[in-house]
């Protein structure tokens, strides 16, 4: 592959990630703009969030000091001739360039328990690979802040729990989070698979929501906004701005459910490459 194509791909990823750190995606921006605050302090917090976004846009700076960990879903076309080593390379180098040029805070430690030494680069990115139809590559990125990530969780339910069991599990996890994830929040719910797959699905849900669960998503969103946690955890509403669900088959003996919580600063980007752009 020509070096110029690698450079172009890396730059495209970096530019998308830098933009995502400064501007909300259209769906998140619309949800935030249309939210009607209720409660004594809710309007003030929502106004502050909107002013924050305006300043980030005008000054071309990140919308939050926690610029997040790079989480990536790399979907590879089944007929693709693109080597995985190249996909990994452009993801890693794109993230490196975004962190260097985009005023990202360095937030990754190389060992999680003892030394906790900062890598100084905001690397490595956390990459998940899946196959898809076609011959191209689609890269879906979350820049995951850990105030909200620390409020994410997994529950292993009995197989007979059903919709009500899933609903209760999600609401218990969200209620326990309180104001810690900087509400109003966006919620991704993963159902099925194994414990680890459910957690993965809860992040994938921010990009692909399963239409079979539209009514459950609406139910969760409605009751979330009746909790009274409110913007900034100061009471009132909204507590949540959106709920999306992804699901896959699971074992007859279980019902894994995972919740990923994103704060209002929902930073995400999707970049697609045709095979000929990388080969």
pLDDT by residue (tens digit) across 135-190?
999 999 999 999 999 999 999 999 999 999 999 999 999 999 999 999 999 999 99
* 118: DSSP letter: B
Question: Based on the domain organization, do 141 and 6 belong to the same domain?
Answer: yes
Residue 2: the pLDDT is: 73
Range 83-111 average pLDDT = 97
Compute the radius of gyration of the chain from its Cα atoms: 19
Sign of CA dihedral 106, 32, 16, 72: positive
Q: Is residue 7 part of a domain?
A: yes
Residue 1: the pLDDT is: 55
Question: Based on the domain organization, do 164 and 240 belong to the same domain?
Answer: yes
Question: Based on the domain organization, do 112 and 6 belong to the same domain?
Answer: yes
CA distances from 74 to 2, 87, 267 (A): 21, 8, 17
Q: Is residue 42 part of a domain?
A: no
Question: Based on the domain organization, do 126 and 174 belong to the same domain?
Answer: no
pLDDT tens column, 190-223: 999 999 999 999 999 999 999 999 999 999 999 9
Residue 22 pLDDT level (bands cut at 50, 70, 90): very high
Question: Based on the domain organization, do 19 and 136 belong to the same domain?
Answer: yes
Question: Based on the domain organization, do 271 and 234 belong to the same domain?
Answer: no
Q: Is residue 171 part of a domain?
A: yes
Range 90-111 average pLDDT = 97
Q: Is residue 54 part of a domain?
A: no
Which residues constitute the domain of residue 12?
Answer: 1-23+63-145+267-279
Residue 69: the pLDDT is: 98
Question: Based on the domain organization, do 125 and 202 belong to the same domain?
Answer: no
Helix %, strand %, coil % of the chain (to 5): 40, 25, 35
Query: Is residue 61 a contact partner of residue 101, using CB atoms and an 8 Å limit?
Result: no
Return mean pLDDT, the chain: 97
The vertex-203 CA angle with 92 and 232, nearest 5°, equals 105
Residue 148: the pLDDT is: 97
Q: Which residues of 239-252 are buried (b: 16+ CB within 10 A; e: fewer)?
A: bbbbbbbbbbebee
* 249: DSSP letter: E
Between CA 273 and CA 279 the distance in angstroms is: 10
Question: Based on the domain organization, do 156 and 193 belong to the same domain?
Answer: yes
**Strand-pair category, 185-193 with 240-250:** parallel
Closest C-alpha among 117, 123, 122 to residue 89 = 123
Range 55-84 average pLDDT = 96
How many separate domains does the chain show? 2
- The pTM of this model reads 0.96
Which CATH number do you get for residue 85? Answer: 3.30.360
Question: Based on the domain organization, do 88 and 209 belong to the same domain?
Answer: no
Question: Based on the domain organization, do 219 and 158 belong to the same domain?
Answer: yes
Question: Based on the domain organization, do 83 and 163 belong to the same domain?
Answer: no
Question: Based on the domain organization, do 189 and 119 belong to the same domain?
Answer: no
Is 268 in a helix, a strand, or coil? strand
Q: Is residue 202 part of a domain?
A: yes
Which CATH number do you get for residue 238? Answer: 3.30.1330
pLDDT at 258 over 80: yes
Q: Is residue 162 part of a domain?
A: yes
Q: Is residue 4 part of a domain?
A: yes
Q: Is residue 57 part of a domain?
A: no
């Amino acid at each position: 592959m020509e070096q110029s194509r690698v450079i172009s791909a890396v730059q495209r990823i970096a530019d998308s990630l830098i933009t995502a750190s400064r501007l909300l995606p259209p769906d998140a921006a619309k949800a935030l703009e249309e939210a009607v605050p209720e409660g004594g302090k809710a309007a003030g917090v929502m106004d502050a969030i909107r002013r924050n976004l305006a300043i980030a846009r005008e000054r071309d700076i990140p919308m939050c000091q926690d610029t997040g960990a790079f989480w990536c879903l790399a979907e590879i076309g089944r007929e693709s001739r693109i080597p995985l080593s190249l996909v990994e390379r452009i993801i890693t180098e794109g993230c490196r360039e975004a962190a260097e040029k985009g005023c990202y805070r360095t937030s990754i430690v190389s060992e999680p328990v003892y030394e906790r030494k900062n890598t100084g680069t905001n690397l490595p990115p956390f990459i998940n690979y899946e196959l898809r139809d076609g011959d191209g590559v689609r890269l879906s990125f979350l820049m995951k802040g850990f105030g909200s990530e620390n409020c994410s969780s997994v529950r292993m339910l009995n197989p007979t729990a059903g919709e009500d069991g899933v609903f209760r599990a999600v609401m218990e996890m969200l209620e326990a989070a309180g104001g810690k994830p900087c509400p109003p929040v966006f919620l991704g719910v993963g159902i099925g698979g194994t414990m680890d797959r459910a957690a993965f699905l809860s992040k994938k849900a921010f990009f692909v929501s399963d239409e079979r669960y539209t009514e459950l998503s609406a139910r969760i969103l409605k009751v979330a906004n009746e909790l009274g946690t409110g913007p900034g955890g100061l009471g009132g509403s909204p507590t949540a701005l959106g709920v999306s669900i992804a699901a896959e088959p699971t074992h007859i003996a279980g019902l894994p459910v995972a919740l990923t919580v994103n704060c209002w600063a929902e930073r995400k980007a999707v970049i697609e490459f045709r095979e000929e752009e990388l080969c």
